[in-house]
Amino acid sequence: MADLPDSAPKGVIGLVAALGRTVLDGVASVGRVGRFAARGVSAAFSPPWYPRQILAQFMAVGFLSLPVVGLTAWFTGAALALNIYSGGDRFNAETVLPQIVALGITRELGPVLAALMLAGRVASAMASEIGAMRATEQVDAMVTLSTDPRRYLIAPRLIAATVSLPLLTLLADIIGVAGGMQVSKLLIDLPPAIYITNTVDFITHWDVESGLIKSAVFGFIIGLMGCYHGDTAKGGARGVGRATTSAMVSSAVLILAADYLLTSIFARI
């Protein structure tokens, strides 16, 4: 690219330089995350494994997230049913409420909201835990004791997040549909048996499977962002705090971006 002429205003030169630095920093960040992800995946698929660490992360990521995911799913299904009822009432289309609730929950709202809840709870916790270990030199102590931090810290969290979120999403789908069923019983006096029959007849295997595939990708993103920002935290307690916030925000943004990308792909299948 040709250099800017000497007559170019200094403000323009500074703006172009700042833009260039931002682009280069962004590309470098993507490269660092990609390299970190490759090393984490390699550690997850090669021995030695640490079953106790993996089980502990399953408990922290999956089991302890059940209440928040369940409540979120129920209120989401109920609110979705209310909106569908109020909108469908204008066209006398209230009877399609079960089908739309089930489709919206299984394909989109169940995976995305469960992932966002997990990002707020799990990604930040991973970042703060690993960041504190990095700040107190516990990670360096592992290396001194010939323990690979990637296998002991990173791999169990990636495995737990990637596997746990689809299971949580499946539960969220069931609870969300149940929330819509309860609202439909109160609003249009639709018997639960008919609601369930309409849902089962309308929903296909792919509707559920596509949501579970999304959830696995979202879970990997959550684990990756939590571990990456925690592992790269610097600056003591303040750096750990920044890493915690960055892990949550970057997870949420990447989840929404990945959701759009996967939805675009699945729409062509």
Q: What confidence category does residue 221 fall into, taking pLDDT thresholds of 50, 70 and 90?
A: very high
Task: Work out the average pLDDT over 231-259.
Answer: 89
At 128, which helix (H) or strand (E)? helix 124-135
Closest among 205, 128, 114 to 164, alpha carbons compared: 114
For residue range 33-47, what is the model confidence (pLDDT) as tens digits? 889 999 889 888 888
Asked if pLDDT for residue 4 goes beyond 70, the answer is no
Region of poorest pLDDT, from 45-54, 86-95, 197-206 = 86-95
* Four-CA torsion 71, 74, 77, 83, nearest 10 degrees: -80
For residue range 170-216, what is the model confidence (pLDDT) as tens digits? 999 999 999 999 988 887 788 888 888 888 888 889 999 999 999 99
**pLDDT on residue 16:** 79
Contacts of 165 (CB under 8 A, 6+ apart): 62, 114, 115, 118, 215, 216, 218, 219, 222
Say which residue the tokens 């990609």 belong to. 34
Q: What confidence category does residue 93 fall into, taking pLDDT thresholds of 50, 70 and 90?
A: low
% of the chain beyond a pLDDT of 70: 93
CB neighbour class for 79 (10 Å; exposed up to 12, middle 13-18, buried from 19): middle
Model-level pTM?
A: 0.88
Asked if pLDDT for residue 1 goes beyond 50, the answer is no
- In this structure, what are the phi and psi dihedrals at residue 46, rounded to the nearest 5 degrees? -130, 145
Q: What confidence category does residue 90 fall into, taking pLDDT thresholds of 50, 70 and 90?
A: low
Q: What is the mean pLDDT of the chain?
A: 87
For residue range 105-131, what is the model confidence (pLDDT) as tens digits? 999 999 999 999 999 889 989 999 998
